[in-house]
Amino acid sequence: MVELQEKLRGVVADLLENEKLSYVIGYQAASFGVGTRPLFIRSKEDVKKLVFSPLCSANLVRYLKYRKPEESVGVVVKGCDSRAVVQLIQESGVNREKVKLIGVSCAGVVEAEKVQNMLPEGSSFELVGFDEKKLDFVVDNKKISVNRSEVSLERCSCCEYQTPVVYDVLVGEKRDAAEKYRYSEVEDFEKHSLEERWEFWTAQFEKCIRCYACRNACPLCYCPQCMAELLEPQWLLRSVDSSECGGWNIMRAMHLAGRCIGCGECERACPVDIPLMLLNKKLEKSCLSRFDHKAGLDPKGKPVLAAFNPNDPEEFVMSGEC
């Protein structure tokens, strides 16, 4: 669907000129292999570099916090990305009028490294087309296709919002939710005993190097000073061991409870492959079952932990006379 890319380029070029945007944030080819990376578009030359394909995994919404107050900017958003914008609107973290959202329908992103491993060695790689089932490449003038199912990201296979929930312009056809049940992985894991689950997570947190890539990659972690950096009071010791790292990861997951929109950038950024989305999705499932709430859907809504409803479950409050 190279036409999707062409259409997107046209839309961005128009917006850049007509809306007098300072820049539009999109994607371009990575410096190696088949992946992509962020692109700040300011000119016609820049527009020519813009790409869109299932390899565009980054959530560009995290750059909105760097927008200068006087700037109007545009940003390309997929379904999950657009929910991050809505969540920011709910938290008064973004000035909607200064941001133009270019929504793109997304059937899921793929893991660039997995794709790379399935392609032969070569010096030039070009993605010439893609559809629901496959990605078509030309590697050193030879055509080769990769099955999408073998390289797609787990979290995309159960995505409920493949069409952006908020946008100023939409590129691509509207899409329904993906078919897979969203919480099957979480429910499988829940079947393990408490000891088994604790052992699993202890081993995972042993790998953590407290680089905070998860935090910086997240569009909803925008605190000017993170609780992990504070010394007065000090919530987390800075020494790197399984206990403190466990504290860090669990605290961050809790800070995102009811706010995480499931883009999975934290997991993608993690250099030691901790399955952070498993933690985040567990809390997402809790929030849904307890408060019937999903993050980042209603721009007029309130963040779930900042809103009170008399029907909120209260089984932790003792019933009976005080």
Partner 1 sequence: MKELFICTKDLEQFLNFCCRDAKLLGPVRDNQGVVRFCQASSVSELVLEDAAKSNMSAKKAVLAQTEVLFSFANGDDGPSVSDVEEKDRVVVVGLRPCDARGIWELDRVFSENVDEGLYARRRKNVALIGMSCIKPDVTCFCSSVGGSPGGQQGLDLLLSKVDDGFVVSICSDVGEKLVTEASMISDALKEALNKRDETLKNAEESIKKSVKTQGVEKHLESVFNSKYWEKVSESCIGCGVCTFVCPTCYCFDMQDESDRQGGVRLRIWDSCMYPEYSVHASGYNPRPDRLNRLRNRVFHKFVWMKNEYDFFGCTGCGRCVRLCPVNIDIAELVNGCWEAKK
- Pairing assessment for the beta strands 134-139 and 142-147 based on DSSP bridges: antiparallel
- Per the CB < 8 A criterion, the answer to whether 260 and 231 are in contact is no
Say whether residue 272 binds partner 1 (CB under 8 A).
yes
Could you tell me the smallest distance in angstroms from the CB atom of residue 24 to partner 1?
A: 13
Containing 145, the helix (H) or strand (E) segment is: strand 142-147
- Which residue, chain included where needed, has tokens 């997991």? 267
Say whether residue 212 binds partner 1 (CB under 8 A).
yes
Say whether residue 213 binds partner 1 (CB under 8 A).
yes
Please identify which residue in 128, 211, 254, 305 interacts with partner 1, judged by CB under 8 A.
211
- Per the CB < 8 A criterion, the answer to whether 67 and 146 are in contact is no
Nearer to partner 1 by Cβ, of 64 and 165: the residue is 64
Q: Give the separation between CA 136 and CA 162, rounded to whole angstroms.
A: 22
Could you tell me the smallest distance in angstroms from the CB atom of residue 98 to partner 1?
A: 18
Say whether residue 303 binds partner 1 (CB under 8 A).
no
Say whether residue 196 binds partner 1 (CB under 8 A).
no
Stretch that binds partner 1, among 32-40, 47-55, 98-106, 292-300 (CB under 8 A): 32-40
Between CA 289 and CA 296, with CA 294 as vertex, the angle to 5 degrees is 165
Say whether residue 44 binds partner 1 (CB under 8 A).
no
Stretch that binds partner 1, among 128-136, 176-184, 191-199, 231-239 (CB under 8 A): 231-239
| Burial (0-12, 13-18, 19+ Cβ within 10 Å), 54 | buried
Could you tell me the smallest distance in angstroms from the CB atom of residue 219 to partner 1?
A: 10
Say whether residue 307 binds partner 1 (CB under 8 A).
no
Say whether residue 223 binds partner 1 (CB under 8 A).
no
What size, in residues, is the chain? Answer: 322
91-130 residues in contact with partner 1 (CB under 8 A) are 123
Could you tell me the smallest distance in angstroms from the CB atom of residue 138 to partner 1?
A: 18
| Burial (0-12, 13-18, 19+ Cβ within 10 Å), 310 | exposed
Please identify which residue in 250, 269, 288, 297 interacts with partner 1, judged by CB under 8 A.
269
Say whether residue 313 binds partner 1 (CB under 8 A).
no
Stretch that binds partner 1, among 60-68, 98-106, 247-255, 299-307 (CB under 8 A): 60-68
Q: x/- site string to partner 1, residues 235 to 264, per CB under 8 A?
A: --xxxxx-----------------------
Between CA 250 and CA 259, with CA 254 as vertex, the angle to 5 degrees is 135
| Burial (0-12, 13-18, 19+ Cβ within 10 Å), 233 | exposed
Could you tell me the smallest distance in angstroms from the CB atom of residue 115 to partner 1?
A: 14
Q: Which amino acid is at 31?
A: S
Q: Give the separation between CA 235 and CA 248, rounded to whole angstroms.
A: 9
Could you tell me the smallest distance in angstroms from the CB atom of residue 171 to partner 1?
A: 22
DSSP string for 254-285? HHTTTT-----HHHHH-TT---HHHHHHHHHH
Stretch that binds partner 1, among 9-17, 136-144, 167-175, 215-223 (CB under 8 A): 215-223
- Which residue, chain included where needed, has tokens 């997570």? 201
Could you tell me the smallest distance in angstroms from the CB atom of residue 240 to partner 1?
A: 5
Say whether residue 40 binds partner 1 (CB under 8 A).
yes
Structure-block tokens of residue 100: 């133009």
Residues that bind partner 1 (CB under 8 A): 30-33, 35, 37-40, 58, 62-63, 66, 123, 207, 209, 211-213, 215-217, 225, 229, 237-241, 265, 268-269, 271-273
